[in-house]
């Protein structure tokens, strides 16, 4: 499925039709800035996730796109038409909330059909189309029940159906999985991804969970304190983080201070390491070394002493002290012998290492 | 005003506000005007007259005294009642017990005052029971006295203050009490150091409302206190419906309003101080 | 409750005190109800014979029927208009931003801390000077002012309990603000609205002093009771009082139970 998705994604990128354009968008609450001069193009048909810790402005941004929050500065375009001050009712965007916001006093059919009712469809047509959607989502036999009679996962599907039935130009999702328990979350993640592919619509999602963002998205926009840190595909963000924040947000990494010397990174002990990208000599940087970048080998970059070994199924996590630094190393138990605590080992680095500037 | 795409529905307050201005604020302004109207034009003569007429000032003092005593007594006895409801009754019966105490709150003053007549009058239940015991007619002599009025108003005030005090007590975070108990605080110190300060705003609201409602009440002083020693409310009504001396009625109303504003001062100050602290 | 480790005596004392106060509150009303079934013409012991004559007489009294009818009409219109106005105002206070918000709120809640008699006399004097004759419609307006603060306070809590995402969801699906209010928010805080209707109805139904000030000869039920009480005693008052007491208390209790039970309009 992944490969097929990639094909879809490449197709979408090739078209490069911008569905939503954010142009220098800022938001201030009183004097507190929540979003700062943010520029972002969201392409038609892509699944874009706004990712960041709480308070980074991601939900505010989503609400501004939906028109539920005013924009302090800058402009928002929807299909190349400016909508900055357009009422939310007039934007063809639907938003799915964290708590799903199903109307507690209506049964599932009426919930799903609500958008059609507002659009003025006849009662029989509303019913027919809502029934179709419930059928598609396997909820037909619950059609006459109230939202509080169904499970969390079913609620999510009802909320999705309610948003999709009016054929919006994009679907906005505010923390779509956080109301669910861990097992269900994994299952619905896949389902959400599937629905996105089937519908071919632009999905804009907000989450604080990097794993969720990676699993769902074509592209991820990482936000920090109201600023856009980096936007790119999950691979790009993991392999080529542009800042320490992005590097630590995605997965674990050993961040080692270094200095650039002749296009390589020079560590304090004199080791030179191949790096990705071009950097000016003398810049102070940090190496982003993922635990899986290390290999135990005699063709080594470093010597180190093993201080701890933890087995994680097929993997082993090893803490190694190398001169004055500690490295968290991850090796596959199938392909490599796991050392013991107290052993001295040689460590080799795989491939060019990404580098982030020291702020 | 900031433009919000989703709209800022402030206009929805306007119908209620309009009604309140026309039917509440404007009559008050009108009364201020009327009370300053005399045959010689604008002057404070009506107020001078009021304060130099002893049966008017007597009525004012009676109103204050009546409401003051009823408020005082009810504000004291509502403490043990609210405490009992909030801390001594199993949780599942708490609301039922509260409702038992305050249910008659929903019915009219008039009917409750009248029912006391049946008990207190010289041939009422108390008198009849006493004479049955003693064996000869007994005169109780409570009905149509200030004591009877105070009794009626006190019971009302007790319901009201217990309700607000109970609300404040149950709003106190249970962990606070448990924390101080675990620190070794004795029951009395927990009550004094935590419950009393945190419940005081609720208590002040209850006592202030009690005073405000009692000082302007008409039914209880008439049905239980009798008409011989009238309170301000009774004089206001007889002036409006009897003598049609409207400036005079307005003057009495303004004086009553002034008393009410003065009585609400402690509550207002307390709330302002609390707001500043937080 | 183990926090206040009260001694047996204190506990007993509090129980006793509570019971005594409850007795004081109910005893006279129970006496009234008993007398309403007593055949004796005088309100004194001993009890004569059981009779329902006073209730029969009450229903034959045209003044009573008129007063009851007027009171039901007035109280219904008061409770409906106060609930609608209060709902709109409470929603606006909850969701909107405007400069004079605290002042507007203060004005709308002011009648709560005002003696009723001032509302009555104020309106009477105002409308007399405008040349408007007192009448039942003025009574309804005056009582609306009096119950409006209660309605606003109740409904504010009710609206605050409705998750704001419900409203946002409806708006993003294209519903207008008013439509959202009617179709989403009002049903989501239905129990608060019903409780508010009941409470405002009871208060208006039993309200005497505003009605007395704003009428000349028209009769509401409390005015009818009052005139019976002050102009020569008639034992039917026991029957009327008992009926009104039970009716009002039932409505008031129902409202309170709804308020205590109200659930936020969101899922747990």
Q: How would residue A13 be classed by pLDDT, with cut points 50, 70 and 90?
A: low
Neighbours of A352 (CB within 10 A): 13
Chain length of chain B: 278
The 3-state secondary structure of chain A, one letter per residue: CHHHHHHHHHHHHHHCCEEEEEEEEEEEECCEEEEEEEEEEEECCCEEEEECCCCCCHHHHHHHHHCCCCCCEEEEEECCEECCCCCHHHCCEEEECCCCCCCCCCCHHHHHHHHHHHHCCCHHHHHHHHHHHHHHCCCHHHCCCCHHHCCHHHHHHHHHHHHHCCCCCEEEEECCCCCCCHHHHHHHHHHHHHHHHHHCCEEEEEECCHHHHHHHCCEEEEEECCEEEEEECHHHHHHCCCCHHHHHHCCCCEEEEEEEECCEEECCCCCEEEECCCCCCCCEEEEEECHHHEEECCCCCEEEEEEEEEEECCEEEEEEEECCEEEEEEEECCCCCCCCCCCEEEEEECCCECEEECC
Distances (CA, A) of A336 to A292, A295, A314, A349: 12, 9, 11, 15
Q: Is C101 a residue whose pLDDT tops 80? A: yes
Query: Dihedral angle at the C-alpha atoms of A101, A107, A111, A114, nearest 10 degrees?
Result: -140
Helices (H), chain C: 8-35, 53-60, 62-95, 101-109, 116-129, 136-160, 164-172, 177-180, 186-188, 190-206, 209-213, 221-230, 236-261
Q: What is the pLDDT of residues B227-242, one digit of tens each?
A: 788 999 999 999 988 8
Q: Is A1 a residue whose pLDDT tops 50? A: no
How far is it, in rounded angstroms, from Cα B98 to Cα B84? 10
The better pLDDT of the pair A173, A268 is held by A173
C97 to B10: CB separation less than 8 angstroms, yes or no:
yes
Q: How would residue A15 be classed by pLDDT, with cut points 50, 70 and 90?
A: low
| High-pLDDT (> 90) share of chain B, % | 56
A67 to B5: CB separation less than 8 angstroms, yes or no:
yes
Instruction: List the subunits that have 3+ CB pairs under 8 angstroms with C.
Output: A, B
| High-pLDDT (> 90) share of chain A, % | 60
Which chain B residue's Cα is nearest to C174?
B6
Residues contacting A90, CB < 8 A, separation 6+: A67, A83, C174
Which chain A residue's Cα is nearest to B7?
A87
Q: What is the pLDDT of residues B55-68, one digit of tens each?
A: 999 999 999 999 99
How far is it, in rounded angstroms, from Cα C126 to Cα B249? 12
Which chain B residue's Cα is nearest to A89?
B6
Contact A319, A308 (CB under 8 A): yes
Per CATH, is A255-357 categorized as 3.30.365.10? no
Contact C235, B117 (CB under 8 A): no
What is the model's pLDDT at position B15?
96
| High-pLDDT (> 70) share of chain C, % | 93
Which CATH architecture does the domain made up of B54-231+265-277 adopt?
Orthogonal Bundle (1.10)
Residues contacting B48, CB < 8 A, separation 6+: none
Question: Residue with structure tokens 């409505």?
Answer: C251
How far is it, in rounded angstroms, from Cα B12 to Cα C87? 9
What is the model's pLDDT at position C44?
64
What is the model's pLDDT at position A5?
53
B2: closest CA of chain A, how far (Å): 8
Share the mean pLDDT of chain C: 90
- Residue C86 is encoded by which pair of tokens? 């209060």
Share the mean pLDDT of chain A: 89
Residues forming a β-bridge with A254:
A289
B4 to A88: CB separation less than 8 angstroms, yes or no:
no
Across residues A271-293, what is the average pLDDT? Answer: 85
What is the model's pLDDT at position A12?
52
Q: What is the pLDDT of residues A111-130, one digit of tens each?
A: 999 999 999 999 999 999 99
Question: Residue with structure tokens 């002011």?
Answer: C110
Contact A280, A260 (CB under 8 A): yes
Q: What is the pLDDT of residues C37-73, one digit of tens each?
A: 988 776 666 677 788 889 999 999 999 999 999 999 9
- Residue A236 is encoded by which pair of tokens? 């790009």
How far is it, in rounded angstroms, from Cα C113 to Cα B212? 6
How far is it, in rounded angstroms, from Cα A114 to Cα A136? 18
Say which DSSP state B240 is in.
I
Q: DSSP letter string over B91-147?
A: HHHHHHHHHHHHGGGGS-HHHHHHHHHHHHSTTSHHHHHHHHHHSS------TTSHH
C229 to B223: CB separation less than 8 angstroms, yes or no:
yes
| Best of A88, A91, A172 to mutate (most B CBs within 10 Å, chain B) | A88
Question: Residue with structure tokens 């049966």?
Answer: B55
How far is it, in rounded angstroms, from Cα A114 to Cα A131? 13
C241 to B28: CB separation less than 8 angstroms, yes or no:
no
What is the model's pLDDT at position B1?
40
Q: How would residue B169 be classed by pLDDT, with cut points 50, 70 and 90?
A: very high
- Burial bucket for residue B101 (CB in 10 Å: 0-12, 13-18, 19+): buried
Q: Is C263 a residue whose pLDDT tops 70? A: no
Say which DSSP state C4 is in.
S
Which chain C residue's Cα is nearest to B115?
C28
B5: closest CA of chain A, how far (Å): 4
C190: closest CA of chain A, how far (Å): 9
What is the model's pLDDT at position A337?
85
Across residues A229-235, what is the average pLDDT? Answer: 94
How far is it, in rounded angstroms, from Cα C87 to Cα C189? 10
A118 to C175: CB separation less than 8 angstroms, yes or no:
yes
Contacts of residue C113 in chain B, CB cutoff 8 Å?
Answer: 208-209, 212, 260, 264
What fold is seen in the domain C61-261?
MetI-like fold (1.10.3720)
What is the model's pLDDT at position C154?
93
Closest CA to B213 of C136, C208, C107, C125: C208
B227: closest CA of chain A, how far (Å): 55
C34: closest CA of chain B, how far (Å): 11
Residues contacting C38, CB < 8 A, separation 6+: C47, C48, C49, C50, C51, C235, C238
Neighbours of B124 (CB within 10 A): 21
Q: Is A6 a residue whose pLDDT tops 80? A: no
Q: How would residue C3 be classed by pLDDT, with cut points 50, 70 and 90?
A: low
Contact C213, B218 (CB under 8 A): no
Which CATH architecture does the domain made up of A2-244 adopt?
3-Layer(aba) Sandwich (3.40)
A236: closest CA of chain B, how far (Å): 36
Q: What is the pLDDT of residues B172-201, one digit of tens each?
A: 888 888 888 888 777 888 888 889 999 999
Q: How would residue C5 be classed by pLDDT, with cut points 50, 70 and 90?
A: low
| Best of A104, A111, A158 to mutate (most C CBs within 10 Å, chain C) | A104
Q: How would residue A2 be classed by pLDDT, with cut points 50, 70 and 90?
A: very low
Question: Residue with structure tokens 């109301």?
Answer: A179
Closest CA to A19 of A64, A80, A85: A80
- Residue A349 is encoded by which pair of tokens? 């680095």
Q: Is C105 a residue whose pLDDT tops 90? A: yes
* Backbone region of residue C253 per phi and psi (left: phi > 0; alpha: psi in -120 to 50; beta: other values): alpha
Minimum-distance CB partner of C114 among B15, B132, B212: B212
B219 to C14: CB separation less than 8 angstroms, yes or no:
no
Instruction: Enter the ipTM.
Output: 0.89
Contacts of residue C18 in chain B, CB cutoff 8 Å?
Answer: 80-81, 84-85, 97, 101
Q: How would residue B38 be classed by pLDDT, with cut points 50, 70 and 90?
A: confident
Contacts of residue B128 in chain C, CB cutoff 8 Å?
Answer: 44-46
Domain boundaries of chain A, sorted by first residue? 2-244, 255-357
Across residues A258-285, what is the average pLDDT? Answer: 84
Q: In whole angstroms, what separates CA B243 from the centre of its chain?
A: 28
Q: Which residues of A276-313 are buried (b: 16+ CB within 10 A; e: fewer)?
A: eeebeeeeebbbbbbbebbbbeeeebbebebeebeeee
Interface of C with B in 56-95 (CB under 8 A): 85-86, 88-89, 91-93, 95
Question: Residue with structure tokens 């109970």?
Answer: B166
Residues forming a β-bridge with A21:
A41, A77
Q: In whole angstroms, what separates CA B170 from the centre of its chain?
A: 22
Q: How would residue A10 be classed by pLDDT, with cut points 50, 70 and 90?
A: low
């Amino acid at each position: 499925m992944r490969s097929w998705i990639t094909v879809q994604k490449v197709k979408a990128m090739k078209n490069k039709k911008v569905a939503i354009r954010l142009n220098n968008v800022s938001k201030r609450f009183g004097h507190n800035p929540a979003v700062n001069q943010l520029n972002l193009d969201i392409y038609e048909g892509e699944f874009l996730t706004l990712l960041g810790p709480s308070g980074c402005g991601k939900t505010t941004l989503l609400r501004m796109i939906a028109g539920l929050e005013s924009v302090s500065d800058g402009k928002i375009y929807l299909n190349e038409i400016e909508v900055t001050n357009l009422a939310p009712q007039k934007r063809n965007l639907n938003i799915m909330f964290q708590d799903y916001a199903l109307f507690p006093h209506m049964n599932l059919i009426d919930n799903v059909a609500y958008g059609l009712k507002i659009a003025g469809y006849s009662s029989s047509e509303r019913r027919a189309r809502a029934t179709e959607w419930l059928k598609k989502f396997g909820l037909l036999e619950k059609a006459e029940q109230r939202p509080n009679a169904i499970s969390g996962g079913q609620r999510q599907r009802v909320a999705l159906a309610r948003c999709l039935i009016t054929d919006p130009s994009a679907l906005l999702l505010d923390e779509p999985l956080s109301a669910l328990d861990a097992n269900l979350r994994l299952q619905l993640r896949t389902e959400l991804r599937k629905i996105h592919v089937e519908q071919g619509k632009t999905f804009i999602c907000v989450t604080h969970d990097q794993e969720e963002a990676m699993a769902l998205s074509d592209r991820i926009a990482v936000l920090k304190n109201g600023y856009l840190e980096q936007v790119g595909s999950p691979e790009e963000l993991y392999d080529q983080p542009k800042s320490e924040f992005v590097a630590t947000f995605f997965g674990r990494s050993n961040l080692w201070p270094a200095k650039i010397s002749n296009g390589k990174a020079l560590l304090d002990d004199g080791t030179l390491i191949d790096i990705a990208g071009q950097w000016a000599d003398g810049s102070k940087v940090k190496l982003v070394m993922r635990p899986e970048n290390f290999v135990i080998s005699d063709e080594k970059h470093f010597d180190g002493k093993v201080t701890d070994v933890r087995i994680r199924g097929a993997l082993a996590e090893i803490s190694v002290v190398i001169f004055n630094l500690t490295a968290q190393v991850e090796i596959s138990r199938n392909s490599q012998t796991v050392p013991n605590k107290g052993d001295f080992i040689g460590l080799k680095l795989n491939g060019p290492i990404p580098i982030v500037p020291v702020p | 005003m900031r433009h919000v795409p989703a709209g800022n529905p402030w206009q929805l307050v306007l119908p209620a506000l309009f009604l309140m201005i026309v039917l509440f604020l404007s009559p008050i302004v009108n009364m201020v005007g009327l009370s300053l109207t005399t045959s010689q034009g604008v002057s404070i003569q009506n107020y001078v007259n009021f304060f130099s007429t002893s049966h008017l000032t007597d009525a004012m003092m009676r109103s204050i005294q009546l409401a003051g005593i009823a408020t005082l007594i009810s504000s004291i006895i509502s403490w043990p009642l609210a405490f009992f409801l909030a801390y001594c009754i199993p949780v599942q019966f708490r609301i039922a017990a509260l409702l038992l105490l305050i249910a008659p709150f929903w019915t009219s003053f008039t009917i409750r005052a009248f029912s006391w007549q049946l008990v207190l009058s010289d041939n009422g239940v108390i008198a009849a029971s006493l004479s049955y015991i003693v064996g000869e007619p007994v005169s109780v002599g409570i009905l149509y006295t200030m004591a009877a009025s105070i009794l009626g108003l006190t019971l009302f005030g007790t319901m009201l203050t217990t309700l607000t005090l109970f609300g404040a007590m149950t709003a106190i975070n249970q962990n606070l009490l448990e924390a101080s108990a675990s620190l070794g605080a004795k029951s009395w110190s927990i009550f004094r150091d935590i419950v009393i300060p945190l419940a005081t705003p609720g208590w002040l609201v209850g006592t202030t409302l009690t005073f405000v409602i009692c000082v302007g009440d008409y039914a209880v002083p008439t049905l239980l206190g009798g008409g011989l020693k009238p309170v301000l409310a009774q004089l206001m009504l007889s002036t409006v419906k009897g003598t049609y001396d409207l400036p005079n009625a307005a003057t009495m109303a303004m004086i009553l309003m002034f008393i009410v504003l003065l009585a609400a001062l402690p509550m207002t100050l307390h709330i302002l101080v609390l707001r500043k602290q937080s | 409750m183990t926090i206040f480790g009260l001694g047996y005596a204190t506990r007993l004392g509090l129980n006793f005190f509570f019971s005594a106060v409850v007795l004081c509150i109910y005893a006279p009303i129970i006496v009234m109800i008993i007398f309403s079934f007593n055949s004796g013409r005088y309100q004194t012991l001993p009890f004569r014979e059981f009779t329902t004559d006073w209730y029969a007489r009450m229903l034959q009294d045209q003044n009573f029927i008129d007063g009851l009818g007027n009171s039901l009409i007035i109280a219904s219109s008061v409770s409906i208009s106060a609930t609608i106005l209060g709902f709109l105002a409470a929603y606006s206070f909850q969701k909107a931003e405007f400069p004079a918000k605290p002042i507007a709120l203060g004005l709308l809640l002011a009648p709560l801390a005002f003696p009723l008699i001032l509302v009555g006399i104020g309106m009477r004097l105002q409308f007399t000077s405008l040349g408007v004759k007192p009448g039942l419609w003025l009574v309804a307006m005056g009582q609306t002012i009096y119950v409006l603060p209660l309605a606003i306070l109740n409904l504010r809590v009710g609206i605050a309990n409705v998750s704001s995402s419900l409203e946002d969801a409806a708006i993003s699906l294209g519903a207008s603000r008013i439509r959202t209010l009617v179709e989403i928010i009002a049903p989501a805080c239905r129990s608060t609205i019903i409780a508010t209707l009941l409470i405002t109805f009871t208060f208006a139904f039993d309200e005497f002093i505003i009605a007395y000030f704003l009428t000349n000869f028209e009769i509401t039920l409390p005015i009818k009771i009052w005139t019976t009480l002050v102009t020569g005693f008639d034992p039917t008052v026991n029957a009327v009082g008992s009926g009104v007491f039970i009716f009002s208390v039932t409505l008031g209790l129902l409202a309170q139970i709804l308020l205590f039970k109200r659930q936020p309009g969101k899922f747990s």
